[in-house]
Amino acid sequence: MKPRVGLVWDQPLVFGRFLEECGVTSIPVTPQLLAAPFFRGQYNVLIIPTGFANPAYSQVLPALRASSGRIRRFVENGGCLVVYGAADPGPDRYNWLPFQATYRYEPGNGRIEMDQGNMLSSITRDYHPDHIEYDGFFSSFEGNAVGTIDGNTVLFEKSLGTGVIVVTSIHEYPSRSFVTALCMKAGETFF
């Protein structure tokens, strides 16, 4: 059985097709489903794409806040949550996570210094290492920094229970090897 990835967004995205090409099953999860207490999707990984907090792009943020307890349980039970940049300068864009993370919206590009001993460092493997797009930085957070630009964190992870939350402001699709490795590491669990 192929790993299952829930892609949280208001409408279908090309990102879903990319995930399918990586050899996983991509399942759209709308904000209405995400916030519905009866919804019981089963996934290895749940992905929140870039722009989730910007009302010009999506209405995902209220649903994330409404389902924060379920998100926590999903990760604690072995799931993996991947959260991209909020793409919005407003405060408290990550206050639905089960830990503190402060984001500063500041788009740019550059060379990301990665902790090469960490499996997550493969996220940019398919791109030129000197020109990686990002939409901001995390000025404070709970977890382990994996990727930085000029000392500013753009990728970190936080273990929770038997799962992990990956937070990044990298504004590129993840590499195929990253998607595969993450899906194999995460256990399939109910949301």
Question: What is the C-alpha R_g of the chain?
Answer: 15
Output the pLDDT for position 186: 72
Output the pLDDT for position 133: 95
Output the pLDDT for position 55: 92
Q: Using the CB atoms, write b or e for 106-138: b if 16+ within 10 Å.
A: eebeeebbbeeeebbbbbbeeeeeeebbbbbbb
pLDDT tens, the chain, 191 aa long? 789 999 999 988 999 999 999 999 999 999 999 888 888 889 999 999 999 999 998 999 999 999 999 999 999 999 999 999 999 998 899 999 999 999 999 999 999 999 999 999 999 999 988 999 999 999 999 999 999 999 999 999 999 999 999 999 999 999 999 998 898 877 777 77
Output the pLDDT for position 46: 96
Domains of the chain from N-terminus onward: 4-87+111-190 (3.40.50.880)
Output the pLDDT for position 54: 93
Output the pLDDT for position 90: 87
What is the SS3 assignment for 169? coil
Q: Which of 115, 110, 149 is nearest to 130 (CA)?
A: 110
Which DSSP symbol is given to 66?
Answer: H
Output the pLDDT for position 115: 94
CB distance 42 to 35 below 8 Å: no
Q: What is the dihedral of CA 65, 69, 73, 79, to 10 degrees?
A: 0
Output the pLDDT for position 116: 92
Output the pLDDT for position 183: 86
